[in-house]
């Protein structure tokens, strides 16, 4: 598939790091207004507010619950009651374990949450955070399992360490967790930080950084130190010098990936260096295996061009995946002034049938939200008026936008997005 480009100029200033905008005022450049009802529309209605740097919204499989993750270390729960979403307290407080992103690096903190597909019966859920510690271990990534103590409360004493990953710098932590259609846990990791992948992790299959990992996190039980299993079918099992957890490689800082609940296809928003932001899409095979053995190109490529440079990129990967969509940091295009992509989700929710199968993503820097069709053609770009840190779905597939400034908005669609 051909990536879509906008014009750009050379020698741009270095990209603002993902989640590096502390001042979350929500101010964005204005787009030309359209009369109501004139063509396709995407609207945003605030349903919850008053959070501190929220970076994720998700569900546990229950229709009337949403869980909101704060970068500073708390997970909140909300319930739908009497026709509105209402706060229902703190689900889990990990602030004593999470290094404070307000003082120790704005890209770190509590970054991911995923409920096990059998959460209703086993009560297991998983978090991804950068830990508070002394010395070199401070800021290292932790994947941990917890269990619920009640319907709306997690048990802080149930913690079981699944995996730690050494972080050589305080940026590019990735942090997203999601269970795939195969029931396994996928973990997005950044390249370890710095500019241009100075640690050469993106293309190194001996490093867990710059990758999408796939594991079975359920405690194997019995004697021994194992805290997770390597699923059969992982592409690098028993290959010398290659990590068996690796599912895909060549990522810089995958800030939110998702699986299309209708097809199993994998979509990734990968934050660029100083010129290009990219969206990747990998089709599933029979609803599973999307992205197996894929190489997304970093740091040979940024977007669909060589890094550094402007030539079309052939990074020589065994399974080279070119972006389905790219946009530049330069003014002049519908995504101008963007600098940090926020990956989103494919809409498969109730109503708005003309929008089903459309993928939404945003940009942290300009607050704009764009819609793509399955081939990566841009259908629409609108201003959300928010600092877009994440997107999420409820159990029915309705989409929500997370504003780093403290709120959650319901996304609604109208009209027909197709030409």
Q: Classify domain 41-414 by CATH architecture.
A: 6 Propeller (2.120)
Whole-number Å distance between alpha carbons of 411 and 45: 7
Q: Which helix (H) or strand (E) holds 413?
A: strand 407-414
The number of residues making up the chain comes to 419
The set of long-range contacts for 120-124, using a CB threshold of 8 Å and a minimum separation of 24, is 120/61, 120/62, 122/147, 122/218, 123/147, 123/148, 124/218
Q: Kindly report the backbone phi and psi dihedral angles of residue 148, in degrees, each rounded to the nearest multiple of 5, phi listed first.
A: -75, 150
**d(C-alpha 412, C-alpha 260), whole Å:** 18
User: The tokens of 147 are what?
Assistant: 């269990």
- DSSP secondary structure, 340-380, as one string: SEEEEEE---SS-GGGTT-EEEEETTT-EEEEE-TT--EEE
Residue 180, phi then psi, degrees to nearest 5: -85, 175
Note down pLDDT in tens along the chain; length 419 residues: 333 343 332 222 223 333 443 233 333 333 333 444 568 999 999 999 999 999 999 999 999 999 999 999 999 999 999 999 999 999 999 999 999 767 645 799 999 999 999 999 999 999 999 999 887 789 999 999 999 999 899 999 999 999 999 999 989 999 999 999 999 999 999 999 999 999 999 999 999 999 999 999 987 765 556 799 999 999 999 999 999 999 999 999 999 999 999 999 999 999 999 889 999 999 999 999 999 999 999 999 999 999 998 899 987 776 899 999 999 888 765 556 688 999 999 999 999 999 999 999 999 999 999 999 999 999 999 999 999 999 999 999 999 999 999 999 999 999 999 87
Closest CA to 129 of 177, 186, 197: 177
Name 33's Cβ contacts closer than 8 Å, sequence gap at least 6: none
Which runs of consecutive H residues, i.e. helices, occur in 139-178?
Answer: none
* Beta strand spans in 94-209 (E): 110-115, 124-130, 141-150, 153-165, 177-179, 185-188
Q: Are 324 and 1 in contact (CB under 8 A)?
A: yes
Contact 271, 321 (CB under 8 A): no
Residue with tokens 């079981």: 160
The Cα–Cα gap between 145 and 116 comes to 10
Quote the CA–CA distance of 91 and 153 in Å, as a whole number.
5
Residue listed under structure tokens 């004593």: 96
Rounded Cα distance, 216 and 233, in Å: 12
Residue 189 CA to residue 254 CA, distance in Å, equals 7
Helix (H) or strand (E) holding 381: strand 378-383
**Global pTM exceeds 0.85:** yes
Beta pairing partners, 410: 45, 400
pLDDT of residue 27: 35
The structural domains of the chain, with segments of one domain joined by +, span: 41-414
User: Would you say the C-alpha torsion 250, 323, 58, 405 has a positive or negative sign?
Assistant: positive
Place of tokens 């989409």: 399
- Residue in this structure with the two tokens 């805290």, named with its chain if needed: 227
Closest CA to 58 of 143, 178, 217: 178
Distance, CA of 286 to CA of 290 (rounded, Å): 9
């Amino acid at each position: 598939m051909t990536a879509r480009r906008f014009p750009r100029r050379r020698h741009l200033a270095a990209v603002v790091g993902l989640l590096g905008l502390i001042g979350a005022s929500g101010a964005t450049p204005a787009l030309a207004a359209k009369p109501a009802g004139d063509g396709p529309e995407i609207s945003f209605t605030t349903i919850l507010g008053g959070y501190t740097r929220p970076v994720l919204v998700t569900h546990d499989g229950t229709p009337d619950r949403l869980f909101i993750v704060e970068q500073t270390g708390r997970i909140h729960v909300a319930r739908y009651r009497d026709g509105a979403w209402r706060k229902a307290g703190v689900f889990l407080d990990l602030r004593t374990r999470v290094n404070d992103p307000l003082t120790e690096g704005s890209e770190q903190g509590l970054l991911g949450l995923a409920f096990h597909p059998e959460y209703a019966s086993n009560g297991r859920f998983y978090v991804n955070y950068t830990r508070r510690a002394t010395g070199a271990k401070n800021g290292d990534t932790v994947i941990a399992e917890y269990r619920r103590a009640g319907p709306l409360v997690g048990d802080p004493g149930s913690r079981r360490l699944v995996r730690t990953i050494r972080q050589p710098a305080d940026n590019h932590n990735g942090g997203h967790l999601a269970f795939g259609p195969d029931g396994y846990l996928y973990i997005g990791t950044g390249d370890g930080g710095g500019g241009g992948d100075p640690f050469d992790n993106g293309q190194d299959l001996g490093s867990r950084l710059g990758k999408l990992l796939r594991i079975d996190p359920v405690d194997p039980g019995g004697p021994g130190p194992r805290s997770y299993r390597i699923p059969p079918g992982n592409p690098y099992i028993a290959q010398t010098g290659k990590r068996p957890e690796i599912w895909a490689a060549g990522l810089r800082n995958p800030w939110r990936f998702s699986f299309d609940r209708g097809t199993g296809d994998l979509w990734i928003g990968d934050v660029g260096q100083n010129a290009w932001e990219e969206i990747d899409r990998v089709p599933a095979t029979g609803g599973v295996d999307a992205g197996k053995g894929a190489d997304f190109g970093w740091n040979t490529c940024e977007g669909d061009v060589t890094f550094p440079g402007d030539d079309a990129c052939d990074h020589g990967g065994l399974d080279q995946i070119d972006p389905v969509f790219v946009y530049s940091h330069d003014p002049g295009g519908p995504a101008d002034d963007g600098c940090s992509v926020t990956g989103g989700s494919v809409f498969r929710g109730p109503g708005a049938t003309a929008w089903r199968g459309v993928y939404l993503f945003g940009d942290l820097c300009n607050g704009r939200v764009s819609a793509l069709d399955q081939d990566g053609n841009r259908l629409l770009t609108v201003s959300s008026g928010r600092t877009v840190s994440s997107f999420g779905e409820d159990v029915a597939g309705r989409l929500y936008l997370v504003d780093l400034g403290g709120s959650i908005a319901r996304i609604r669609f109208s009209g027909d997005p197709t030409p």
